[in-house]
Amino acid sequence: MTKLFPNQKPDETVLCIIRKHWFAYIPHLLLGFLVMAGLVSLLFGFYWYFTDFSSLTVAASAVFTSMILLAALFLMLYGLVDHYLDILVITDEKLIDIKQNGLFGQEINEIHLLDIENISVKLNGVLGVYLKFGSLEIRTGTEHEDFTIDMIPKAAKTARYVMELHTKYLKEQEQKISIEDVIDSPNNKLPDLSEKKLAKSRKRISI
C-alpha cells in the first residue's frame, strides 16, 4: 500500500482527500498574466520608440522577452503545484493537513479524531459564501495549538462530516472496552476514554 503521509498505519483507511478550492489558484494565475501583459506593453512601447533595429538589438529583445515569459510561466506553474499538493487527508483515525512550501518543502500537521473538541467554519467574504469555500478552525483541547485550514471547498459540509467521524470513533472506542477493563479499573469506573472523551462529542459546529 502506498502511503499518502509518513505516519500512515497499515490498517488506517483513507476516507477522502480534499484539495483547496480552485479560487486559491487565481492569484498565481493573475500574477502570471499581469507579468505577460506588462511584457507586451513594454515591447509595444519599445518598438514604437525605436524605428531602427540592429541585429544585436533584436537578439537582446528576444532574450529579454524569453526570460520574462519563462518567469511568468514559472509563477503559474509554482501556483499550480502549490495548489495541487496542498491537501487535507481524512482517515478513519485522524486529519492530516499537508501544506506545500515551495516546490520541494512540505509541512504536515496531524489531528487525531479523539482530540477534536469543536470545529468552527469561517466563510471568506461574499465570494466564500457564493462559491462555498472557507476556513476550518479546529479546537483540539490538548496541549497542542488549535489548527486552521484555509480555502476548503464546501467547508460547512466538511466540518459536519468530520464531527460525525469524531462521534463514530468515540463510540467505536467505547465498544472496545471489555468487561475486564471495567473490573480492573479503580472503583469499577470506566476508563477516561468513555467518561471524558464521550463528553466531547456533544459539540456544535459554529458557522
Instruction: Give the domain range for residue 197.
Output: 111-201
- Whether residue 74 sits in one domain with residue 37: yes
Our CA angle for 68, 69, 74, nearest 5°, is 95
In a domain, 143, yes or no: yes
- Overall domain count for the chain: 2
- Whether residue 182 sits in one domain with residue 146: yes
In a domain, 165, yes or no: yes
- Whether residue 119 sits in one domain with residue 72: no
How far apart, in whole angstroms, are the C-alpha atoms of residue 66 and residue 99? 31
Assessment of whether the complete model's pTM goes beyond 0.85? no
What is the spatial order of strands in the sheet that 133-139 belongs to? 118-123, 133-139, 147-153
Percent of the chain surpassing pLDDT 90: 13
Alpha helices in 52-132 (DSSP H): 55-85, 125-131
How much is the CA Rg of the chain, to the nearest whole Å?
A: 26
Q: Domain with 125 in it: what CATH number?
A: 2.30.29
**Which residues of the chain fall short of a pLDDT of 70?**
1-2, 45-58, 142-144, 177-207
| 112-150 residue pLDDT tens | 888 888 899 988 788 888 888 999 999 887 666 778 888
- Whether residue 189 sits in one domain with residue 116: yes
- Whether residue 191 sits in one domain with residue 152: yes
- Within 10 Å of residue 130's Cβ, how many Cβ atoms? 9
